[in-house]
Amino acid sequence: MGDLVAGRTALVVGVANKRSLAWGIAQRLDAEGARVVLTYQNERTERDVRRLGETLTGIAGFLPMDVQDDAQVTSAVAGAAEMLGGGIDVLVHAVAFARAEDLGGRYVDTPRDGFQLAVDVSAYSLTALARTAEPFMRGRDAAIVTLSYIAAERAVPGYNVMGIAKSTLESIVRYLAWDLGPEGIRVNAVSAGPVRTLAARSIPGFGDMAGAAAARSPLRREVDADEVADGALFLCSPLARGVTGHVLYVDAGFHAMGL
């Protein structure tokens, strides 16, 4: 066990199962000394999240949170702050969703309601969380970290409306960094390479996408959840105290290549 975030408090939103990136980040924060609160989306996911969270040394509690429900976001953030002793030092946003039918085919065929759903859940939710958490993070040299993907800046066939949502998310990171910087709150994103999570299975052609990225990246390989978690840990730690409004690529260098 290390001490990069020893004594710090963390709210991790988005743990779904043992292969999710949010769970990898929660484990790294715990291993480096943080006390952690985890959220779960609904009763269906509660049991799995609790089972995972109870293996953490510094687990402080569990709370329900549907990021589309403002009242639940407010209640969960306030509840987490109470469980963590009054303040939140780290907020991890690892939430994204788009309907399966809006990921395949042509982006131009995305209906209005599918577009709104993807952007609301995957991007606006960061704004809602940051606004609600701000009073509990002020003056604590706090950090907010979210998860993005290269489709935020390049067209990735099959990713479609989620790429639009990730582009919105990265813009939100920059605006939040400006708004919250005077309060001592840093806001950054980790742009992860394709990681073979359960959620990734819903993306058409994901296996081909991951294989192509590995073949064309400078390191000639895929990345895993542990590497993404290490990047997030860095941004949450004092080592990144001068970093905000930034997108950190953890993708074996794929983002640097033109072909």
Identity of residue 164:
I
pLDDT at 120: 98
Which of these is catalytic: 40, 107, 159, 175?
159
pTM of the predicted protein model = 0.94
Mean pLDDT confidence for 64-85: 98
Element (H, E) at 249: strand 247-250
User: Is 124 an active-site residue?
Assistant: no
Residue 22 half-sphere exposure toward CB, CA atoms < 13 A = 26
Spatial CA neighbour of 248 closest among 186, 162, 181: 186
Q: Which of 40, 107, 124, 149 is catalytic?
A: 149
User: How are beta strands 185-192 and 59-64 bridged, if at all?
Assistant: unpaired
Please give the pLDDT value at position 194. 79
Q: Which of 198, 220, 197, 195 is nearest to 209 (CA)?
A: 195
> Of all residues in the chain, what percent are helix, strand and coil, respectively (each to 5)?
50, 15, 35
User: What separation in angstroms does the CA of 89 have from each of 84, 142, 149, 236, 238?
Assistant: 10, 4, 25, 9, 11
Residues 150-196 pLDDT 10s: 999 999 888 999 999 999 999 999 999 999 999 999 999 999 987 76
Report the CATH superfamily, name and number, of domain 9-251: NAD(P)-binding Rossmann-like Domain (3.40.50.720)
pLDDT at 214: 76
Per the listing, tokens 């997108």 go with 247
- In percent, the amount of the chain with pLDDT more than 70 equals 94
Active site residue 149: yes
Asked if residue 161 lies in contact with residue 98, where contact means CB atoms within 8 angstroms, the answer is yes
